[in-house]
Amino acid sequence: MAGSSPFQVHRILATIRFIQGYRYLDRCGEALVKLENVLTEGWLPTEPSPKAGGMKNDQLGMTASFNSEGMTTSQAEFISFEHFIDQTCKVFDTLWQTFEIKRISSPTILVVFQKGFKDDELEEAAQYLISLRLCVPHTGLIGLMEGMAHALDFVLLTTEDMEWNEERVHRRRRMQSQVIRQERQPPFDERLLRRSRQLASKQRDAIAALMKLRRKHPEVSPVAAQLDLEHSFETELSAEVFDLPSFLQQGWEWAESVRGGIARLEGETS
Amino acid sequence: MAEQRSLVNSVCRADVLSPTCHEAEPIVKGEPASGREQETGRTLSEPSILKIAAFGSKGDSPTRSHVTRPEVPKDVATYRAFRRLCDNIVKELGRIGAFLIKDKVSDEGAEVVAEIEALLEELYTCPHGQGESLKRVVVAVQSQVNNTVWDRRHIEFLRDLFFFLRVRYLVDEAAVDTCYDFMKARGLDPFRGTICEPRVTKRYRIEEVLEHDKSSGTIS
């Protein structure tokens, strides 16, 4: 189903907001030490500050960041949902226990799909999105604007109050369609410039892997038709009993089904 | 990762989310001709994703499309088995209420008890979690529920534990500690069935001794 879609997964993000997560300021360092021990190999902590602490893993293409307000994990380009769910759940379980978070809110998963175009195909990308007819403007509106429809970006929101794991939740789903221009920036970490003996063994391995990755030629479409699909519960939940693995899995499956559905729509319109 | 260029939305301009604002999703086409620097509003349809400024830029990660993919993490596969066993235990616990008579599980409930004990055995062999943590949790549970007539405390302890455990992805030392916390909270003895169980309990009493000082006639 999803395999035949022209849209490819470009990025996955997950966010959970903490309620009374102020212990971040006391225990950020402790959280980083625990995460280094719990997560898979290749994670490097970034310099923590009162604003945020974070870690990144270039081999998995993942980042994890957190502060008193919440946590966010992301994975880009190298997409492996198994790794994403595994690492995200471990980050969450470590953080809510370390910061003694009792309640959380607005768990969210965002899946970004892209169909790539060449540098000079901006028009084609826009026309491709219009041709999918995901959102059709009123003909009267086009008449008022005068001329031809040239580009159409839109956001569609749906909400529903529902029962999930024996709890009432307010589900919010968001779809954004747009054409974007993008440019790769090669990864840089100042630890690349340091003598390897000055680094801890874990960091040395991670930096060596990053060195190798940097030598690879980046591949990214300069122009892309992009669909953002976001699934969230705008509800306060208990951190202890929140079923994050199921939440992520359901959000991912929903995004995949939308991608498959859009591929079918494309078949019908062409 | 790629740096996406173009219009930064009005939320970012208001500096609400500060340093990561350049990550806001851009619009290439349909960019308004006039500047919108004065806008400070938020729209109803804004994304829910939280942007945390822990990284310098979006371009911090290279492409990996042609890089050898690491093996699927062990916990992904084992979590499914772990979750299935926990869900089955929770399901069995849902049935056991019908067999509670005067706070004790009746003989008719033996079938459910046996089922749960078998699931616990299976859980013991499940390789999920860090090191031996899951095994330690199961041993702790078995020390309470094996070779005894279950009563309401046992059921409530199991409910507390497995409602907690089934949604835990990271089963580590903290999960073992939580298991003992639930045990104590339900009035169960953490030392039951262990070599640490005290056979004799000695009690001591501290008494205040009053001595009469003959020379001064006072009590010291």
Q: What is the ipTM of this complex?
A: 0.72
Nearest to B169 among A15, A90, A241 (CB): A90
Contacting residues of A for B167, CB less than 8 Å apart: 241-246
**Within an 8 Å CB–CB cutoff, is residue B174 touching chain A?**
yes
Contacting residues of B for A189, CB less than 8 Å apart: 60
DSSP for residue B16: S
Regions in chain B scoring below 50 on pLDDT: 1-3, 5-25, 27, 35-37, 57-66
Residues A56 and A46: beta-carbon distance below 8 Å: yes
The per-residue pLDDT for A2 is 43
DSSP structure string for A63-94:
EEEE-SSEEEEEEESS--HHHHHHHHHHHHHH
The per-residue pLDDT for B63 is 43
How many domains does chain A contain in total?
1
Taking alpha carbons only, the member of A125, A260, A241 closest to residue A182 is A125
Stretch A18-39: mean pLDDT: 94
Residues comprising chain B, all counted: 220
**Within an 8 Å CB–CB cutoff, is residue B69 touching chain A?**
yes
Residues A244 and B169: beta-carbon distance below 8 Å: yes
3-class secondary structure per residue, B57-117: CHHHCCCCCCCCCCCCCHHHHHHHHHHHHHHHHHHHHHHHHHHEECCEECHHHHHHHHHHH
The per-residue pLDDT for B200 is 73
The per-residue pLDDT for B213 is 64
DSSP for residue A147: S
The per-residue pLDDT for A149 is 84
Per-residue pLDDT reduced to its tens digit, A199-230: 777 777 777 776 666 555 446 788 999 999 99
Higher pLDDT, A4 or A115: A115
Contacting residues of A for B45, CB less than 8 Å apart: 155, 157, 174
The model's pTM is: 0.77
CA distance B8 to chain A (A): 12
Stretch A52-59: mean pLDDT: 89
**Hey, what long-range contacts does B20-24 have (CB within 8 A, 24 or more apart)?**
B20/B51, B20/B52, B20/B53, B20/B55, B21/B51, B22/B57, B22/B58, B23/B51, B23/B58
Stretch A94-104: mean pLDDT: 96
Structural domain harbouring A158: 2-269
| Least confident window among A155-159, A242-246, B108-112, B157-161 | B108-112
Q: Which residue on chain B is closest to A188 by alpha carbon?
A: B60
Give Cβ neighbours of residue B181 (< 8 Å, ≥ 6 apart): none
Stretch A60-76: mean pLDDT: 93
Determine whether the interchain pair B5/A183 forms a contact, defined as Cβ–Cβ distance below 8 Å. Answer: yes
| Mean of the per-residue pLDDT values of chain A | 88
Q: How far apart are CA A55 and CA A94, in angstroms?
A: 13
Determine whether the interchain pair B170/A17 forms a contact, defined as Cβ–Cβ distance below 8 Å. Answer: no
Tokens of residue A143, six digits: 């008449």
**Within an 8 Å CB–CB cutoff, is residue B73 touching chain A?**
yes
CA distance B166 to chain A (A): 8
b/e code A54-72 from CB counts within 10 Å (16+ = b): bbbbbbbbbbbbbbbbbbb
Q: How far apart are CA B82 and CA B76, in angstroms?
A: 10
In whole angstroms, what separates CA B99 from the centre of its chain? 29
> For chain B, percent helix, then strand, then coil, each to nearest 5?
45, 5, 50
Residues A240 and B164: beta-carbon distance below 8 Å: yes
Residue with tokens 């509003």: B41
| Least confident window among A194-203, A241-250, B205-214 | A194-203
**Within an 8 Å CB–CB cutoff, is residue B33 touching chain A?**
no
Stretch A25-48: mean pLDDT: 91
Determine whether the interchain pair B3/A185 forms a contact, defined as Cβ–Cβ distance below 8 Å. Answer: yes
**Within an 8 Å CB–CB cutoff, is residue B172 touching chain A?**
yes
The per-residue pLDDT for B57 is 47
The pLDDT of residue A187 is above 50:
yes
The per-residue pLDDT for B139 is 94
Contacting residues of A for B58, CB less than 8 Å apart: 185
Helix (H, G, I), strand (E, B) or coil at A238: strand
Q: Which residue on chain B is closest to A105 by alpha carbon?
A: B48
User: Which residues in chain B (77-106) have CB-CB distances under 8 A to chain A?
Assistant: 79, 83
Beta bridge partners of A211: none
The per-residue pLDDT for B100 is 87
